[in-house]
Structure 1
Amino acid sequence: MNALADELIVLLQDSDVRGRALPPASFWSIVHYGEGSYENRYNRVVRWLLDPTENHGLGAAVANALIANAGDTDVEVGTRRVRSHVETPVPGMTTGAGPLLKGRIDVSLLDHANKIVITVESKLSSSAHDEQLARYRAHVEAERRGWRQYFVFLTELDEQADDEGWGELTYAEFADLLREILDRQEVSAAVSTLIQDFIADIARRAQGPSDAKVAALYFDDHDQPQPTHNRFADLLVSVASEIEPDEQKRAGSKIERLGAYLGTRGVSVDALPSEQIFDLLWTKLAAAFGPSFSASDLTRLLSYVLDHAPQARTQDQSIKPGVRDFFARYFTLLTGAEVPRDRGSVPVLTEHSADGYLRSVQLNRGGRGLTFNVGDARPFRISGPDPDSFPWWVAHIDPGTNKQCAIIGRKITKRPLAEWHERDLHDAIVAGLGADEVCACGAAIVRVG
């Protein structure tokens, strides 16, 4: 338990991790009606910030920052006859039933006095649809001829617009612009809180589902093994019932995934009752961070850490039609013999042995793969129960620890089983072996010229 508490304390001493694991209450941490609605809320905040006539007190600072970011430092939006919009309809061709809608522009700002238009297409998790940006630009250019026109492709991910008329800007970069403006321009406390919460939510979303510092707690360093990390995961399973109700511990849940991971590593679950472990953890963390650290804080922290539990990669053990026959034919190609009744090893024919490197081969239990005995290296195995993505993996195996290393398999492109001939697969395997090479685990896996 102390090992788990110590790791959690170290995590919370990192202000960035603490901000993500225990975010303060804000509009963004409370209200979420799905990703589509989330994008709409972002669009409305962007519109509010761009509009110099709104009540944020920033004037045209944000709009002019976007113009300056586009390279025009001598153009500025004013504060008279300015209108801002969200979801502006873009009509398409006209039919007998009227114009067809070809989409909606997310955010637009029109300065009628200075004839300036800023068009923003905002994307969080999704990308622009085919030729969407080109259609929107053509519409604005036709509607606002003679105006200065600025097109901003505002995205969560750093991606390129598929139309050269648009300038790219990530939300993280937009947040930087907002910070710079707030540093030099004073606003009310209420407005500052709104904008800072928006910036914090951008940072939270940018982190995504992955937190390297948390995920690192689950994995051993191959060069410097750290078995306490397995213990860390073990203790999390022990306290899991305080985080997820029993009815939620189903296939695919955080606890099920972590349990599957531990099962692959042979780690046992702690004997202490879950409630007792939770109380001990709370006592230790409250001592470290003060009495304001509540039980709900610990629950949120543990849930956040569980969100980063590794996904145990499990292989479908069922044998799909055609797989067993393929490996039987492959075995016969390599040995010139039928599969023996006892499934024992049979010498590989010289012409298929890669200059004696592959010495003998045997069909795996169930007929879903082959295992080779090789010269001066670890046993070498190919497996593939899924005919849609074949082979599943090609790897060498440490007979002492039974650890698998797929460095060879990464050189072989998976494709449907129906597209493979056993001779083609063998040629791909031999090519993957290549010349002398040392695996990341230190094993000399290749001795083929």
Structure 2
Amino acid sequence: MKVELLSSNLPEFFQNLGECSFHSSKVSGGVVELPSENQLLGLFEDLGGLVSDQVLGPVNYGNPWSIAGLRRDEVRNAAVLKWFLDPRGGHGLHAGLLNSFLANIPDFPLKPSSHCRLAVENCPDGSRDSRVDIRIDDPGNFFLIIEVKIDAGEQIDQLQRYCQIAEACARDGRPWKVIYLTCTGAVPKSAGIYFDDVVPYSWSKIASHLWDSAKKPKNGHEISRFFAKTFARHISRF
């Protein structure tokens, strides 16, 4: 379907965006199927021609991430966050968000290497009982697990188990941490002896990093900045 590049079409467009398949679904075996990076990149490209000064200026057509149905769903928001963190994500921000993220982790490399890989809903130890929300694996450089929380609470020994997994994955001596991402940057309760290896983080802090990345001229173009800013606005309300 051809979309006319008229600002008057935008309200109807964003209304229709709510019907897009950003929701997670189950496939055989109970595995969660998430939107791929190509699907997210396709969304950016399709919307590129629709984003004008009117959208980025005083006229407010709503937040596309909210309209797309992310709401407070942890799986959906984790998938989009992982995409923005990935320097290869095609979002136009390059490693901007990940660099800001790493700079706030004590005694950690400040930049990822070219070998850094990210995964969402991943099982680093091969067990489905230990599925982590986001895994950032940079061989020879660092290893990170991000536990995403919005409304759900900690499970018994959850962060301690994730720390044990991260420690095993980084047995080559590289630094590792588990990031505990919550609405308030809460202190973990289930880390046990690994308490110092868990870094509390808040969604508002991620939002701040996104805003900073979007302000840098070298980071993408208007459509990149538009989606970074609107996702930052979306998560800052958690």
TM-score calculated relative to the size of structure 1: 0.36
1:61 aligns with 2:96: yes
CA shift in 2, pair 1:74/1:135, >3 Å: closer
| Structure of higher RCO (CA pairs closer than 8 Å, 6+ residues apart) | 2
Between the aligned partners of 2:168 and 2:109, the Cα distance in structure 1 is 24
Alignment deviations for residues 298-329 of structure 1 (CA, whole Å, 9 cap, x no partner): xxxxxxxxxxxxxxxxxxxxxxxxxxxxxxxx
Check the 8 A contact 2:137/2:143 in 1, yes or no: yes
Residues 1:130 and 2:156 are matched in the alignment: yes
What does residue 76 of structure 1 align with? Answer: 111
Deviations 1:91-123 (A, max 9, x none): 5xxxxxxx86323110111122x4322211110
Correspondence list, 1:40-189, <5 A: 40-72=75-107, 75-78=110-113, 80-89=114-123, 101-112=128-139, 114-145=140-171, 146-162=173-189, 163=191, 164=195, 165-185=197-217, 186-189=219-222
User: 2:211 is paired with a residue of what secondary structure?
Assistant: helix
TM-score (norm 2): 0.65
8 Å Cα contact 2:93/2:224 also seen in 1: no
Tell me by how many angstroms 1:182 deviates.
Answer: 2.1
Deviations 1:230-289 (A, max 9, x none): xxxxxxxxxxxxxxxxxxxxxxxxxxxxxxxxxxxxxxxxxxxxxxxxxxxxxxxxxxxx
Whole-Å separation in 2 of the counterparts to 1:119 and 1:134: 12
8 Å Cα contact 1:23/1:29 also seen in 2: no
How far off is 1:71 after superposition?
2.4
* Corresponding residue number in structure 2 for 1:25: 62
Q: 1:214-245 CA deviation, whole Å, 9 max, x = no partner?
A: xxxxxxxxxxxxxxxxxxxxxxxxxxxxxxxx
Is the CA contact 1:90–1:102 (under 8 Å) kept in the aligned structure 2? no
Kindly state the Cα deviation for residue 172 of structure 1 after the two structures are TM-superposed.
0.5
Distance in 2 separating the partners of 1:33 and 1:58? 21
8 Å CA contact retained: 2:214, 2:224: no
Task: Rate the CA distance shift 1:130–1:90 in 2: closer, same or farther, 3 A.
Answer: farther
- Other-structure match for 1:255: none
One-letter identity of the residue aligned with 1:190? I
| Structure 2: distance between partners of 1:33 and 1:71 | 31
User: In 1, distance between residues paired with 2:119 and 2:153?
Assistant: 21
Q: 1:194 aligns with which of 217, 220, 227?
A: 227
Going from structure 1 to structure 2, the CA distance change for 1:138 and 1:74 (only over 3 Å counts) comes to closer
RMSD of aligned C-alpha atoms? 2.4
Q: Where does structure 1 lack aligned partners over 5 or more consecutive residues?
A: 1-21, 92-98, 207-449
**1:187 to 1:157, Cα distance in 2 relative to 1, 3 A:** same
- Residues 19-61 of structure 1: CA deviation (Å, up to 9, x unaligned): xxx97333223232775xx211211121112111221232222
Report SS of the residue matched to 1:102: helix
**Alignment partner of 1:76: what SS?**
coil
One-letter code aligned to 1:50: L
Distance in 2 between residues matched to 1:34 and 1:53, nearest whole Å = 25
Structure (1 or 2) with the larger CA radius of gyration:
1
CA contact (8 A) 1:90 1:136 kept: no
- Contact residue 148 and residue 181 of structure 2 kept, 8 A: yes
Runs of 4+ in 1 over 4 A off after TM superposition: none
| Percent of aligned positions that are identical | 24
C-alpha distance in 1 between matches for 2:71 and 2:214:
30
Amino acid of the residue matched to residue 85 of structure 1?
Answer: A
Segments of structure 2 that go 5 or more residues without pairing to the other structure are 1-58
